[in-house]
Amino acid sequence: MDGTGRRRGAALEDAILRAAADEMREAGYAGMTMDKVARRAGTNKNAIYRRWPNRAALGVAAYRQLARAQMTVPDTGTLRADALELLAKANATWSSPQGAVLRDLLAAAGDDPQLLGLLREQAGDTTMDNAWLTLLGRAVARGEAPPEAVHPRVASLPMTMLRGEYAVRGLPSVPGAVLTEIVDEVFLPLVRGRGATGPGR
Amino acid sequence: MDGTGRRRGAALEDAILRAAADEMREAGYAGMTMDKVARRAGTNKNAIYRRWPNRAALGVAAYRQLARAQMTVPDTGTLRADALELLAKANATWSSPQGAVLRDLLAAAGDDPQLLGLLREQAGDTTMDNAWLTLLGRAVARGEAPPEAVHPRVASLPMTMLRGEYAVRGLPSVPGAVLTEIVDEVFLPLVRGRGATGPGR
DNA sequence: CAATTAGGGTACGTAAAGTACCCTATGGGT
DNA sequence: ACCCATAGGGTACTTTACGTACCCTAATTG
């Protein structure tokens, strides 16, 4: 029909992934049924199950197409503004339809650590952590934060709290006031606190 | 058969909830099917659907039976030990089979804020927050922490981070080293940092 | 002692995942 | 240039489980 006859290998795989991503875009992960993906890709379920063991695995694989978000690390000159900007960007992603897909995928992959790891990789999770570490590094270079502030737990804290908000509330977006509270009441005080020679131990 | 004839109202409702809780205990939320609950309760699906609109609502309602965990707020004399003990207790709960049920329920209720709120209530979430606030209050009274440390965001932080660990990893238990890291590298420094008159703004 | 309401039994509709065959195009090896 | 193992395509089927629809009957209420 198309000049190109029967697709094979990578070409077919691409078509399937694209179809799955489109389905998720239109109807979310819940709406992505295997039959619809197969029809949309112009193939059948056999070809899918030969590549992925189940729906969740396909969804995770297809999510990469959805999450093309390459992030630029903000560099405003102050740690506070940098942090707020990065948080706001993450919040925008999470509250978008794509964020809903991501959350459904997280739930679906929840009992399969391997799949979960793959998903987090494709969702740009390590990229995000690195961005926060960069932020902190710059703040230290400016003398705005003590060197002890550069720590993975500190770096991942704002995103963890943001995710926590989504877990506590339902779907709607997290209000901006919460973001500033996370930064002003927790993140920045923590950065300061790690500078103080604590009697904490 | 039983002397008592046909059950009605609260008696029947109790039987259904008990049956649902038992099913979840044995096979998790995924294994709790409506038919099995009905059979176990010695009734039929009609009686269930007359009371709860869907499986998720029943699961949430039944979870209360599972989460009989009345917690005693630790009082060891130091903030650090109190925090570690409370965290460890929460970790034990989350890594138990009951914790798996809770996580599945959270996922199932994820798109229904109302149901989510109910679940969090039955899971003893506010009780937990209050425990942390009590902890902090005692530390302030001992002069171990500045008054500014008593803040809802600070109080909820350790639990949020613990939950984050479960989201990042798969199912297994969170190792104790992570708990001490949360306390020593984040929680206590934050408490100290909120005491310092920050130039952070 | 009606009459209404709630339970019980059962069967059905529907949706979707995953599986089983069987036929056929394709492309690599000889 | 030809074979043949392999991967695609088409389709039908099995299974599981949610949610509904009826219809009969026991309890409860006035």
Q: How far is CA B76 from CA A54, B130, B139, in A?
A: 49, 17, 11
Reading the block at residue A18, the tokens are 């694209």
User: Cα–Cα distance between B57 and B32 in angstroms, integer?
Assistant: 12
Reading the block at residue B177, the tokens are 């080293």
Per-residue model confidence as pLDDT tens digits over B123-164:
989 999 999 999 999 999 999 999 999 999 999 999 999 999
Average model confidence (pLDDT) for chain B? 91
Per-residue model confidence as pLDDT tens digits over A49-77:
999 999 999 999 999 999 887 789 999 99
pLDDT at position B200: 41
Strand C contact with B43 (CB < 7 A): yes
CA of A158 to C1' of D28 (A): 58
pTM: 0.89
Question: A-B interface: how many C-beta pairs under 8 angstroms?
Answer: 123
Going by pLDDT thresholds of 50, 70 and 90, the confidence category of residue A97 is: very high
pLDDT at position A86: 96
Q: Do residues A188 and B198 lie in contact, with contact meaning Cβ atoms separated by under 8 Å?
A: yes
Q: Does position B199 have pLDDT exceeding 50, yes or no?
A: no
Per-residue model confidence as pLDDT tens digits over B60-111:
999 999 988 778 999 999 999 999 999 999 999 999 999 999 999 998 998 8
pLDDT at position B197: 62
Instruction: Find which nucleotide's C1' atom is closest to B33's CA.
Output: D17
Strand D contact with A197 (CB < 7 A): no
Chain-centre distance for alpha carbon A90: 8
Contact A190 B189 (CB under 8 A): yes
Instruction: Find which nucleotide's C1' atom is closest to B11's CA.
Output: C7
Q: Crossing angle, helix A97-108 and helix A55-66, to 10 degrees? A: 150
Going by pLDDT thresholds of 50, 70 and 90, the confidence category of residue A1 is: very low
pLDDT at position A197: 62
Q: Does position B24 have pLDDT exceeding 80, yes or no?
A: yes
Q: Do residues B23 and B100 lie in contact, with contact meaning Cβ atoms separated by under 8 Å?
A: no
Strand C contact with B6 (CB < 7 A): yes
